[in-house]
Chains A and B, each alone.
Chain A
Amino acid sequence: DQQVKQNSPSLSVQEGRISILNCDYTNSMFDYFLWYKKYPAEGPTFLISISSIKDKNEDGRFTVFLNKSAKHLSLHIVPSQPGDSAVYFCAAATGGTSYGKLTFGQGTILTVHP
């Protein structure tokens, strides 16, 4: 049972355009959501997070939107740069004992073309 799903295995975008990565979840107990990116031969790197009490969080070119009623979150990258090409993982956690016990999606490969 996959509680966090990234239905698009890959996304290709032109440099300078917006990249939108999507993520759906099924567990209504999740109250903290994160995005990680991963380059080949490296571990995942934390990008941005959002608590369930918010519906938007911005950090520079990265914005995460949360729609609790739809159990959906998205990551917007504007403008996209070639260096953004990586695998992006959506993750979710339940408050309580450990916010580090993350449930990850399968990942979306983002390719930004110059």
Chain B
Amino acid sequence: DSGVTQTPKHLITATGQRVTLRCSPRSGDLSVYWYQQSLDQGLQFLIQYYNGEERAKGNILERFSAQQFPDLHSELNLSSLELGDSALYFCASSPGNTGELFFGEGSRLTVL
């Protein structure tokens, strides 16, 4: 158990819909990261927040947005969903700005 909690574990929705994925980092970790793992792309960095502020951005689509709240939990919002958005979305946390990340079990999104 990494200490990082992601909900929901599985989500099935239709094209055009909007979903929110939630992440609770390990206690005390200030950094939260979102990664997307799709079959053909592998693990791709989406975005990082540090203590409520956006710290780094990857190839995150404009249809996607994220935020980190004062209690340090984070949400990833995916809108106008397309079939290609079907993937495993991982949240990870770390105490600082280090590559030693603690990953959650992921949220599997299926867009039909």
Q: Interface on A for B, CB 8 Å cutoff? A: 32, 34, 36, 41-46, 49, 89, 91, 93, 97-107
Contact = CB atoms under 8 A, between A and B. Distances in A.
B99 interface: yes
B66 interface: no
A34 B100 contact: yes
Chain A interface mostly: loop
Chain B interface mostly: strand
B42 A102 contact: no
B17 interface: no
B106 to A, nearest CB: 6
B97 A99 contact: yes
Interface of B: 2, 4, 31, 33, 42-45, 48, 55-56, 58, 90, 92, 94, 97-106
B90 A100 contact: no
Nearest to A104: B43
A100 B99 contact: yes
Given A43-B2, A44-B90, A45-B2, A104 B42 contact: yes
Nearest to A43: B103
Contacts of A99: 97-99
A102 B99 contact: yes
B90 A34 contact: no
B103 A98 contact: no
A41 B9 CA distance: 10
A42 B101 CA distance: 14
13 contacts: A43-B103, A44-B90, A44-B101, A45-B103, A49-B100, A89-B42, A97-B97, A98-B48, A98-B55, A98-B97, A99-B99, A101-B33, A106-B42
